[in-house]
Every structure is written in structure tokens, then in C-alpha cells.
Amino acid sequence: MAAAAGTLTCMTATTIVAAMLAAGASIVAAVLSWRSAQDSRREARAALRVNQLVSAHDREVERFRDDVSGFVRALVAAGMEGEGGTVAGAAVIAMNSLCTEDLRKMANELAQLRMGRTAAGIDDLVHQLEDESRAILRRADNQRRTLLA
């Protein structure tokens, strides 16, 4: 009987130790799961922020393209409709956040030339405006790539 009681106590102790190990493993698994969920949320927020930045950047570039093309259309139409659109187009370009000082000067000079109804120098300035616009768009594309990296 004493031997049976000792065996029972040994079995109970083994069961308790096994239960404690299982409980410890369960706690460790819960902590790891919680940390994994925290990491996933952090990564999701970071990805969302990058997507928001890229979307805002894309909208800014699209607005720049619209501003420049509107200005060029105003230059072409100035002879038929008056010069107001040319001056307004130069002002819109100047207000665009991607506009450089060189582009602003070129747009203003083109508007002044068009208002004076002189063709001398307009073609050269239009080409310079196109080149500067392309350079701005290349820089914007590089910034977009940097955001996505």
C-alpha cells in the first residue's frame, strides 16, 4: 500500500510538472503571437504611409504636368484669344510646388514676349521650358523611386 501511494505521488508530481511545462509553453506562444501581431501592425502602418506619400507625390506631378500643358496651350492660343491666358498660365506654373526658379523666369519671359506679340526668341524659350520641365519630371520620378525603396 505504501508502494502504491508513492507511485501515485510520483505520477501526480509528473502530471503537475507536465502541466506546468505546457502552461509555460502556452504563455511563451501567446507572447510570441502578440509580438508578431505588433510587428505586423507596425509594418502595415509603414506601408500605408509610403503609399500615401507616393499618391500625394503622383498627384503633385500630375498637377505640374497639367499646369505646364495649360501654359503651353495658352501660349499657342494667345494670338487668337488674347494674352490673359498666357499671364495666368505663367502665374499658375509659378505657384506649383515643383516649379523651379528657372522655370518660373522662363514662363514669365514667354508670357511677356507673347504679350508684346513678338515671335523673336519664343521658340528658343519654349525649348528651354520643355527641357526644364523634363528635368523636373525626372527629379520627381527619382523622388518617387526613393519613396518606394
The model's pLDDT over 29-88, given as tens digits with 9 standing for 90+, comes to 888 899 998 999 999 998 899 889 889 889 988 888 888 887 777 776 655 455 567 777
- The better pLDDT of the pair 120, 131 is held by 131
pLDDT band at 20 (very low <50, low <70, confident <90, very high): confident
* Closest alpha carbon to 113 in 141, 136, 79: 79
Q: pTM (2 decimals)?
A: 0.58
DSSP state of 83: S
Q: Looking at residue 80, what is its pLDDT?
A: 47
